[in-house]
Amino acid sequence: MVITQPAAPGPAIRLDDLTKTFGPLHAVSGLTLEVAAGQVFGFLGPNGAGKSTTIRMIMGLSAPSSGTATVLGTDAWDDGPGVRARIGYLAGELALPPRLTGDAILGWTARARNVENRSRRHELAERFQADLRRPVGTLSKGNRQKIGIIRAFEHDPELLVLDEPTSGLDPLLQKQFDDLLAETVQRGRTVFLSSHELDEVQRVAHNIAIIRGGELVLADTVSALRARAPRSVELTFSAPVDKAEFDALPGVQVLGQQNGRLVLAVSGEVGPLLEAAASHHAIDILARPADLDVLFRSFYRAPQEVPVAR
Ligand SMILES: Nc1ncnc2c1ncn2[C@@H]1O[C@H](COP(=O)(O)OP(=O)(O)OP(=O)(O)O)[C@@H](O)[C@H]1O
């Protein structure tokens, strides 16, 4: 008798030196990263960075030129159908048969998956105010996207791979979507979220990777990035202070000075700044939260402008 051990809980996705070339073009180049189970992982990059090519290899739809994509413990190319059966997938370019209703499409997918959970479908439809009765070809882009979201989530998969999921959704429904992601990871599921939307990703993701030109340029937790990103701080003193004293503090850059008011960009700890402010007659302080956009945008620029952080 063969006794199979339960698989050790490993990462939901592991990419090892994953590479895809199209002739001379390196669409994805030596990509190595891990997506831990039970988190939202944001996968960002400018147009043409290699996000969709990576996702196709994760889904076992495209063969790596070299390297591997291991998904839920299985090599995605060796067993594409097995891997896809365990994933809820929302493609970036959603193609739905236009004459079928949402109900018909979802019923068909559910039968193919051998899991039909109509109560979950109707709960999601209500949540996103999706119309499942009209042919999807007559729906607006955002309303069609809702059908794609329900299809990805309704069988409660272990892993969700979502390519630009909220494109076309209005802000209220985006909020619903953020809540759905939070509930999903609370139940131990994993979400791999590809997006151009820096704002969406920083709202919902625990970890972020940015690729550009097929290469990984940044991978870190959102909280670590937030700690690194500059905050804007305004200090008001009863009398003008020496700007150079503040400029010399670690992580502090004076952006402007007007009479007793200093405008600063502050990264890292604020202790030294607060001590310096306290040694003068500080009468007011205004601090804005760290803006990850500024940091992200620097990683979207041309390669020679940005240091590679691995
Ligand atoms: N089948 C293919 N044949 C040739 N080149 C391809 C093919 N698929 C993708 N590419 C190229 O690979 C590069 C990466 O494309 P990919 O679609 O993965 O980028 P992306 O990050 O998803 O971009 P976007 O955000 O615009 O969707 C691009 O230069 C693209 O032109």
Complex prediction ipTM: 0.97
Query: For position 132, what pLDDT does the model report?
Result: 94
How confident is the model over 189-206, as pLDDT tens digits? 999 999 887 778 888 999
**Could you tell which of 28, 53, 200, 300 is best to mutate to test the pocket of ligand 1, judged by most ligand atoms within 8 Å of the CB?**
53
CATH 3.30.70: does it fit domain 230-289? yes
**What single DSSP character describes residue 196?**
S
Instruction: Say yes or no: CB of residue 207 within 6 Å of ligand 1.
Output: no
CATH dotted code for 13-86+157-225: 3.40.50.300
Q: How far is CA 70 from the centre of its chain?
A: 19
pLDDT at 302 over 70: no
Q: Could you state, in order of their start, the residue ranges of all structural domains in the chain?
A: 13-86+157-225, 230-289
Residue type (1 letter), 168 = G
| pTM of the predicted structure, to 2 decimals | 0.81
- Whether the pLDDT of residue 61 is over 90: the answer is yes
The angle formed by the CA atoms of residues 65, 76 and 150, to the nearest 5 degrees, is 125
pLDDT at residue number 301: 62
Position 304 pLDDT exceeds 80: no
Query: How many CB atoms sit inside 10 A of residue 260's CB?
Result: 17
Strand partners, 264: 233, 254
Q: How far apart (Å, rounded) are the C-alpha atoms in residues 200 and 186?
A: 18
> What is the residue with the minimal CA distance to atom 5 of ligand 1?
22
Express each pLDDT in 242-297 by its tens digit.
999 999 999 898 988 999 999 998 887 889 999 999 999 999 999 987 767 767 77
Q: What is the CA radius of gyration of the chain?
A: 24
Q: What is the pLDDT of residue 4?
A: 45
pLDDT confidence bin for 115, thresholds 50/70/90: confident
278: CB partners within 8 A, 6+ apart:
none
Distance (Å, whole) CA 265 – CA 121: 47
Q: How far apart are CA 109 and CA 126, in angstroms?
A: 19
Q: 185: which residues sit within 8 A by CB, 6+ positions away?
A: 38, 39, 40, 191, 206
pLDDT for 303 beyond 70: no
pLDDT, one tens digit per residue, over 3-54 is: 444 444 689 999 999 999 999 999 999 999 999 999 999 999 888 899 999 9
Give the mean pLDDT of the chain. 88
- List all residues 6 or more positions away from 190 whose beta carbon is below 8 Å from its beta carbon: 12, 13, 35, 36, 37, 38, 39, 41, 158, 159, 160
Residue 194 CB–ligand 1 contact under 6 Å: no
- Our answer on whether the CB atom of 45 is closer than 6 Å to any ligand 1 atom is yes
